Structure 1
Amino acid sequence: MPADPPVPSATDEDDPGGRTARLVVAMVVVIALVPLSYLLDTPHNFFDLKIYMSAMEWWADGHPLYDYVQADELQGELYFTYPPFAALLLRPFTGLKIGYTIAIFTILSLAALVATTWWLVKPLTVRHRLPWWFAAGLAIPLVLAVESTRETLTFGQINMLLVTLILADLLFAVPRGSRWSGVGIGLATALKLYPGIFIVYLLAARKWRAALVASATAAGATLLAAAIAPGDSWRFWTHELWLTDRVGRPDYTGNQSLFGLLSRFTTPGRPNQLLWALLVAIIAGYGLWRAARAMRAGDHLSGLTLTGLVGALVSPITWTHHVYWFIPALVVLVDAALRRPEPTSGVTGRRRRIGLLAFALLLATGIVYGVVSFYDWGVEFDRTDTASEFLLRNVYVLFALLLLVLLPIRAESTEPSTGTNTPRHEPSVR
């Protein structure tokens, strides 16, 4: 008698109901953990937004904008530190009750978070044939759980609005060669300066027109503010801009920049400026070189992520809510890990995928738990004296340095701007 035919093994395609159930369970677990991350966190009660609004009322009463100061137990005196163009956009909120202002800022930030997260994960749903509802349902709660997002929302910061301008430019306008390329980066730079690193990125990638448009947009917005508030503009650009102490103590653990790391070794003294400048030059040069390589390879997401991490490292002050760029880094790591290795890669390819997934899991754990949410670092100057303290107080700096070296550059990457389907041949990862 002929042998019985082999029984085919069950797969996800044979059992779509079971696959859906597993996806739903994963989503429910993640969504259930998000409120916990907010309940355990120290509530900031929109502290920064209230400072902005108090400064706007002070300004509306006829006082010089940059004379506004507010005492803070942790960091001493805090001031309004944004450029005058940002003040012009905040000024109309002066007449509103603070509750309405908080509601508007929170809604806008959440809308920006949802939109930008979808821009990041949509290519993965196409490339890896994931249900859109699962990708969005898993990614959005995870992004909400990340410390930088929690700090942005609960402080009342404008970071997600800046991220939206930058991502719209670098994921859509620039890859398509749009005439609007650079406008988003220029506006973001006029609002909060640190996005200016992306103009340098455009120059490094030889996107001359986009860099020119970004520079002209930032200059135009700045000149508009100068025309409306000439005295405050002159004071900001000639004096206040150079006083880094106005934004808080550089040695405080919440400052996750290279300067913050060095300051935690030398506090209450200042780090050696020459050493810091040398390290900044090396990190910026290497990171922007890799970012430009990524853009030339078609991996616009890796390019902008590397640039954002460079900006976080080289800025004298980088608060935890500024370091959004770990989120797109996670997307790149997961995407690279999910891609099939080359047939000739064998065991090495499998190990690489496992290593990328392990790194992604470690990074996700670090940025969700964070560096300031669940620790009380105190208000006194405190040197970093032990290895464990060094690791705990510089988690983001160390992750950023690792990612500058290890973040994959995905050749022939399918980005949101292309609108194409999964490539016929799996792209390589370098």
Structure 2
Amino acid sequence: MAAIREWWQRATKCVGVRRGEVTVASAAAPNSGHSSAAERWQCRLLRIAPLLLAASVLIRFAASVLQYGDLYIDLRVYVVGGAAVGRPGTLYDAFSLDGVGQHLPFTYPPFAAILYYPLHWFPFAIVAFAWTAATIAALYGVVRISQMMAGSDNPRAAMLWTGAAILFEPVRSTLDLGQVNMFLMLAVLYAARSSRWWVSGSLVGLAAGVKLTPAIASFYLLGMRRWTAAAASIVAFVATIGVSAVLLPRETRLYFTELLGDVQRVGAVDYAPNQSWQGTLSRIVGYDVGRGPLLLLAIFATAILAAFAWRALGGRFQIRDALGSLLVIQLFGLTISPVSWTHHWVWVVPLVVWLFHGRWCDAPGVKVLRWLWVALLLIGVPTLLALQPQDYSRPWYFAWADAVYVPMTLATFAWMIVAGRQGAKQDGDRRAIRAGER
């Protein structure tokens, strides 16, 4: 018993690393004058982090079992899409999904169907369980990489973030649908952190071959002047098309010549969970704005903000913030895409970690911004409003209330610009003082 008690004390010792986390000293003496109440509470949470994560995961699995018949719609499409690989010419037909009473099409590149092919070998209940477990594991991986890129390294804090992030709207939606987004985000984050050009390029290219949205990470590689990695990402993506052309020539030709630009095949633009500029504007004005002048103006303004935010995250005299820069690219891509469902916005997980633990975690205004993000992600306004009639006759206040992710992205970019200027000014003042001392 003594050995077990000693092991438990070591396992639950509160250890903080770098900024934003409690220190060993404050954990060892929680009642001393050097430890604030917030640090003591943080220490207590870190001690029970494994239990809190386990409770969050168990609750998630219990909810999945209770609502099993209404969940995993996208995963069911993956399974039948993979099975269609063995039936040439049927991949892009509308599939009848057993148990859910819906006919849905496969909307991904043919390479994704090839990867999903083994899924139909197993009972769907086993596939759903394994997929959910793997998604949560990938979520933990996302948090850990985000921590390290933000300059922090605390596995117990990562457990807390993982348990909390399971409750975020994009993660809830990803788990409900059985979506692939978490795995793709993990691949892109690992690519961004890796210093090996062939690893970074291959991961981005392969992720884009599964679902086109990760392709925007190539612009991050270009912005970071990782020319070889960016070229490798293009080569890897072309290779996925080549594999598809060999195994599924008819489907590959159909997808890249006809289906690629068919937005309606993905879903109605005005549906509440579509949190892109096009979806947001269309709901507000009462009709599909398409790729017209109003949308182009909004995209142009967002591009300007994103460019200044990128610049603020690293300049001539400042080491570039890699995670913050990647987030600028990803959030910009989500706003300009015709359709960005709430489950596409899983990138808010590394964003929140960055706001709490990144270089600017103490900048003016960051507390308001990060807690506003957390509150909106927990509430999930688009999910709640999806229960209302989904057409252009919805009341104007519902349309405006559903504008969540795009305005928050604009606010985040604007805050980055201001925080970056203040940081640059402080750096300039310090350089001037050092120069004067010489």
Q: Match for 1:361: what amino acid?
A: W
Q: How does 1:280-319 map to 2 (within 5 A)?
A: 280-288=299-307, 290-291=309-310, 294=313, 297-319=319-341
Q: How far apart are residue 114 of structure 1 and its match?
A: 1.2
Residues 1:137 and 2:159 are matched in the alignment = yes
SS state at 1:113 partner? helix
Task: Please tell me whether the aligned partners of residues 291 and 303 of structure 1 are also in contact (alpha carbons under 8 angstroms).
Answer: yes
Q: Which residue of structure 2 lines up, in the alignment, with residue 325 of structure 1?
A: 347
Match of 2:204 among 185, 209, 229: 185
Structure 1's 270 and 98: CA in aligned 2 closer, same or farther, altered over 3 A?
A: same
Aligned partners of 2:111, 2:357: CA distance in 1, in Å? 38
Q: How does 1:356-375 map to 2 (within 5 A)?
A: 356-375=366-385
Q: How far apart are residue 407 of structure 1 and its match?
A: 3.2
Task: Please tell me whether the aligned partners of residues 146 and 354 of structure 2 are also in contact (alpha carbons under 8 angstroms).
Answer: no
Q: How far apart are residue 34 of structure 1 and its match?
A: 7.8
Higher deviation after alignment, 41-50 or 390-399: 41-50
Structure 1's 177 and 368: CA in aligned 2 closer, same or farther, altered over 3 A?
A: same
SS state at 1:298 partner? coil
1:67-89 deviation per Cα after TM superposition (whole angstroms, max 9, x unaligned): 224599x9x96311000110110
Q: How far apart are residue 33 of structure 1 and its match?
A: 7.3
Task: Please tell me whether the aligned partners of residues 263 and 269 of structure 1 are also in contact (alpha carbons under 8 angstroms).
Answer: yes
Q: Which residue of structure 2 lines up, in the alignment, with residue 243 of structure 1?
A: 262
Match of 1:64 among 77, 90, 93: 90
Higher deviation after alignment, 208-217 or 99-108: 99-108
Task: Please tell me whether the aligned partners of residues 270 and 288 of structure 2 are also in contact (alpha carbons under 8 angstroms).
Answer: no
SS state at 1:181 partner? helix
Q: Which residue of structure 2 lines up, in the alignment, with residue 419 of structure 1?
A: none
Residues 1:154 and 2:176 are matched in the alignment = yes
Task: Please tell me whether the aligned partners of residues 188 and 203 of structure 2 are also in contact (alpha carbons under 8 angstroms).
Answer: yes
Structure 1's 316 and 338: CA in aligned 2 closer, same or farther, altered over 3 A?
A: closer
Task: Please tell me whether the aligned partners of residues 205 and 292 of structure 1 are also in contact (alpha carbons under 8 angstroms).
Answer: no
1:231-276 deviation per Cα after TM superposition (whole angstroms, max 9, x unaligned): 0000000001111000111001100000101221344544462322
Q: Which residue of structure 2 lines up, in the alignment, with residue 3 of structure 1?
A: none
Aligned partners of 1:81, 1:227: CA distance in 2, in Å? 20
Q: Which of the pair has the greater relative contact order for Cα pairs under 8 Å at 6+ separation?
A: 1
Structure 1 unaligned regions, length at least 5: 1-10, 341-351, 414-425
Q: How does 1:11-50 map to 2 (within 5 A)?
A: 13=25, 16-18=28-30, 22-23=41-42, 25-26=44-45, 43=67, 44-50=70-76
Give aligned pairs, total. Answer: 382
Structure 1's 383 and 307: CA in aligned 2 closer, same or farther, altered over 3 A?
A: farther
Q: How far apart are residue 292 of structure 1 and its match?
A: 6.1
Task: Please tell me whether the aligned partners of residues 89 and 251 of structure 2 are also in contact (alpha carbons under 8 angstroms).
Answer: no
1:85-111 deviation per Cα after TM superposition (whole angstroms, max 9, x unaligned): 101101122222112221232222122
Q: Match for 2:237: what amino acid?
A: A
Superposition RMSD in Å: 3.5
Q: Match for 1:160: what amino acid?
A: M
Q: How far apart are residue 317 of structure 1 and its match?
A: 0.4
Q: Match for 1:366: what amino acid?
A: L
Aligned partners of 1:187, 1:89: CA distance in 2, in Å? 11
Match of 1:398 among 364, 384, 407: 407
Task: Please tell me whether the aligned partners of residues 118 and 136 of structure 1 are also in contact (alpha carbons under 8 angstroms).
Answer: yes
Structure 2 unaligned regions, length at least 5: 1-22, 424-429, 431-438
Q: Which residue of structure 1 lines up, in the alignment, with residue 104 of structure 2?
A: 78
TM-score by length of 1: 0.78
TM-score by length of 2: 0.76
Q: Match for 1:382: what amino acid?
A: Y
Task: Please tell me whether the aligned partners of residues 182 and 213 of structure 1 are also in contact (alpha carbons under 8 angstroms).
Answer: yes
SS state at 1:66 partner? coil
Task: Please tell me whether the aligned partners of residues 293 and 303 of structure 1 are also in contact (alpha carbons under 8 angstroms).
Answer: no
Higher deviation after alignment, 288-297 or 91-100: 288-297
Q: Match for 1:255: what amino acid?
A: N
Structure 1's 228 and 138: CA in aligned 2 closer, same or farther, altered over 3 A?
A: same
Task: Please tell me whether the aligned partners of residues 288 and 307 of structure 1 are also in contact (alpha carbons under 8 angstroms).
Answer: no
Q: Which residue of structure 2 lines up, in the alignment, with residue 277 of structure 1?
A: 296
Higher deviation after alignment, 21-30 or 76-85: 21-30
Aligned partners of 1:202, 1:295: CA distance in 2, in Å? 15
Task: Please tell me whether the aligned partners of residues 143 and 162 of structure 2 are also in contact (alpha carbons under 8 angstroms).
Answer: yes
Task: Please tell me whether the aligned partners of residues 202 and 210 of structure 1 are also in contact (alpha carbons under 8 angstroms).
Answer: yes
SS state at 2:104 partner? strand
Higher deviation after alignment, 42-51 or 78-87: 42-51
Task: Please tell me whether the aligned partners of residues 355 and 361 of structure 2 are also in contact (alpha carbons under 8 angstroms).
Answer: no
Structure 1's 337 and 68: CA in aligned 2 closer, same or farther, altered over 3 A?
A: same
Match of 1:114 among 132, 140, 153: 140
Q: Which residue of structure 2 lines up, in the alignment, with residue 232 of structure 1?
A: 251
Task: Please tell me whether the aligned partners of residues 329 and 407 of structure 1 are also in contact (alpha carbons under 8 angstroms).
Answer: no
Structure 1's 52 and 336: CA in aligned 2 closer, same or farther, altered over 3 A?
A: closer
Higher deviation after alignment, 47-56 or 274-283: 274-283
Task: Please tell me whether the aligned partners of residues 151 and 357 of structure 2 are also in contact (alpha carbons under 8 angstroms).
Answer: no
Q: Which residue of structure 1 lines up, in the alignment, with residue 12 of structure 2?
A: none
Higher deviation after alignment, 234-243 or 23-32: 23-32
Q: Which residue of structure 1 lines up, in the alignment, with residue 216 of structure 2?
A: 197
SS state at 1:323 partner? helix
